[in-house]
C-alpha cells in the first residue's frame, strides 16, 4: 500500500513536470526580442533623425525639435511618449498590447497613408515590424539598455 502511494506520487510529479514543460515550450520557442540588440539599431537607422534631442542644422542653421514632440532615443524618452495640442500625454508603447501602441501601429499603415512611420523613405520591412510587435507583446522590456548619446548627422 505504501509503495503504491509512493508510485502514485511519483507519477503525479512526473505528470506535473511534463505539463510544465509543455506549457513552457512555446514561450521558449518564440525568441525573446532584445531591445538593445534587435530594436535600437532599427530606431537609430530609421527613426532618430526625426525623433531625438533638439539640434541645430549645420547647413540651414535652423533649430530642429523632435517631430511630433516625441523622442525615441532612450528607453526613458520612449516611455514618456508625447503630449498632444491639448496637453494630454499619449503613451506610444503599451506593454503587452502592440495593437494599442502607435510605436508599432504607425509603422504598419498603408505606405500611402499620411501618418505612416518612418515619415520618409521605405516602410520598415515585415521582419522589422515583426520584431517591434513581438517586443511589445513580450512586455516591452529594455533589459537595462543604456542608450549611447545620439547626435543627428546634420547637427553642427
Ligand atoms: C522624416 C521624419 C520622421 C521619421 C524618420 C520618423 N518620424 Fe515619426 N513622426 C514624424 C512627424 C512629422 C510626426 C508628427 C506627425 C503629426 O503630428 O501629425 C511623427 C509622429 C510620430 C508618432 C506619433 C507622435 C505624435 O506626436 O503624433 C510616433 C509614435 C512616431 N512618429 C513613431 C516613429 C517611429 C517608430 C519611427 C521609426 C520607425 C519614426 N516615427 C520615424 C516624423 C518622422
Whole-angstrom Cα distance, residue 79 to residue 66?
15
The candidate with the shortest Cα–Cα distance to 42, out of 126, 156, 100, 151, is: 126
Cα–ligand 1 centroid distance for 106 (angstroms): 8
Of 118, 130, 133, 136, which is best to mutate to test ligand 1, by the most ligand atoms within 8 angstroms of its C-beta?
118
Distance of CA 32 to the CA centre of its chain: 12
- Report the mean per-residue pLDDT for the chain: 90
Q: Can you count the helices (H) and strands (E) in the chain?
A: 5, 4
Q: Is the CB of 64 under 6 A from ligand 1?
A: no
Question: Which atom of ligand 1 lies at the shortest distance from residue 102's CA?
Answer: 29
User: What are the pLDDT digits (tens) for 21-58?
Assistant: 555 554 454 689 999 999 999 999 999 999 999 999 99
What average pLDDT does the segment 125-130 reach?
98
Q: Where are the domains of the chain?
A: 1-30, 32-156
User: What are the pLDDT digits (tens) for 131-145?
Assistant: 999 999 999 999 999
Phi/psi-derived region of residue 49, left when phi > 0, alpha when psi is between -120 and 50, beta in every other case: alpha
Is residue 20 within 8 A of residue 27, CB to CB? The reply is no
Q: What is the pTM of this model?
A: 0.84
Amino acid at each position: 500500500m505504501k509503495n503504491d502511494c509512493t508510485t502514485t506520487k511519483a507519477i503525479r510529479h512526473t505528470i506535473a513536470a511534463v505539463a510544465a514543460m509543455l506549457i513552457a515550450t512555446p514561450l521558449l520557442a518564440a525568441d525573446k526580442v532584445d531591445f538593445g540588440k534587435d530594436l535600437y539599431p532599427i530606431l537609430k537607422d530609421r527613426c532618430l533623425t526625426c525623433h531625438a534631442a533638439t539640434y541645430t542644422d549645420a547647413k540651414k542653421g535652423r533649430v530642429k525639435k523632435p517631430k511630433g514632440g516625441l523622442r525615441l532615443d532612450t528607453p526613458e524618452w520612449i516611455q514618456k511618449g508625447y503630449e498632444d495640442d491639448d496637453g494630454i500625454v499619449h503613451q506610444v508603447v503599451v506593454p503587452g498590447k502592440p495593437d494599442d501602441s502607435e510605436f508599432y501601429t504607425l509603422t504598419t499603415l498603408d505606405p500611402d497613408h499620411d501618418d505612416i512611420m518612418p515619415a520618409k523613405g521605405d516602410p520598415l520591412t515585415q521582419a522589422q515590424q515583426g520584431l517591434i510587435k513581438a517586443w511589445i507583446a513580450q512586455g516591452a522590456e529594455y533589459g537595462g539598455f543604456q542608450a549611447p548619446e545620439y547626435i543627428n548627422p546634420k547637427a553642427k
